[in-house]
Amino acid sequence: MKRKNLRIKAIVLMILGLFPLAFTHSAEAQHPGKISKIGILRSGSPGDANIEGFRQGLRELGYIEGQNVVMEYRWVDRDDRLLELARELVQQKVDVILTGSTPATIAAKEATKTIPIVFGALSDPVGVGLVASLARPGGNITGMSLLAPELWPKRLELLKETVPKLSRVAMLWNRSNPGMAARAKETQDAAHHMGVAVQDRGAKDSQELENIFNVITKDPPDGLLTMLDPFTTLHLKHIVDFTANHHLPGMYEERRFVQAGGLMSYGPNVVNLYRRAATYVDKILKGSKPADLPVEQPMKFELFINLHTAKALGLAIPDSVLFRADDVIK
Answer yes or no: do 154 and 254 share one domain.
yes
Q: Please say whether the beta carbons of 120 and 274 come within 8 A.
A: yes
Number of domains in the chain: 2
Residue 139: closest CA among 278, 296, 292? 292
Give the burial class of 126: count Cβ atoms within 10 A of its Cβ; 0-12 exposed, 13-18 middle, 19 or more buried: middle
254 and 275 co-located in one domain: no
pTM: 0.84
Cβ atoms of 90 and 115 closer than 8 Å: yes
5 pLDDT above the threshold of 80? no
In a domain, 25, yes or no: no
Q: Are residues 258 and 276 in the same domain?
A: no
Structural domain including 67 reads 36-146+271-292
Q: Is residue 306 domain-shared with residue 211, that is, in the same domain?
A: yes
125 and 156 both lie in a single domain: no
Query: Does residue 16 form part of some domain?
Result: no
Rounded to the nearest integer, the mean pLDDT of the chain is: 88
Regarding whether 130 and 172 lie in a shared domain, the answer is no
Same-domain pairing of 317 and 229:
yes
Q: Indicate whether 180 belongs to any domain.
A: yes
**What would the mean pLDDT of 112-131 be, rounded to a whole number?**
94
SS3 292: helix
- Residue 189: partners with Cβ closer than 8 Å, 6 or more residues away: 153
Q: Is residue 88 part of a domain?
A: yes
**Straight-line distance from the first to the last Cα atom of the chain, in angstroms, rounded to the nearest whole number:** 92
Contact residues for 106 (Cβ-Cβ < 8 A; gap 6+): 82, 128, 130, 178
Residue range 199-212, pLDDT digits in tens = 999 998 899 999 99
Q: What's 256's domain CATH number?
A: 3.40.50.2300
**Is 66 found in the same domain as 166?**
no
Euclidean distance between CA atoms 44 and 278, whole angstroms: 20
Q: Is residue 29 part of a domain?
A: no
Residues 193 and 317 in one domain: yes
Please check whether residues 57 and 177 belong to one and the same domain: no
In a domain, 286, yes or no: yes
Q: Tell me: pLDDT of 10 over 70.
A: no
Q: Which residues of 42-79 are buried (b: 16+ CB within 10 A; e: fewer)?
A: bbbeeebebbebbbebbeeeebeeeebbebbebbbeeb
User: Considering the domain boundaries, does residue 8 fall inside one?
Assistant: no
Q: Which of 12-26, 73-87, 152-166, 221-235 has the lowest mean pLDDT?
A: 12-26
pLDDT at position 33, please? 66
Paired residues of 202 in beta bridges: 173
Whether 277 is in a domain gets the answer: yes
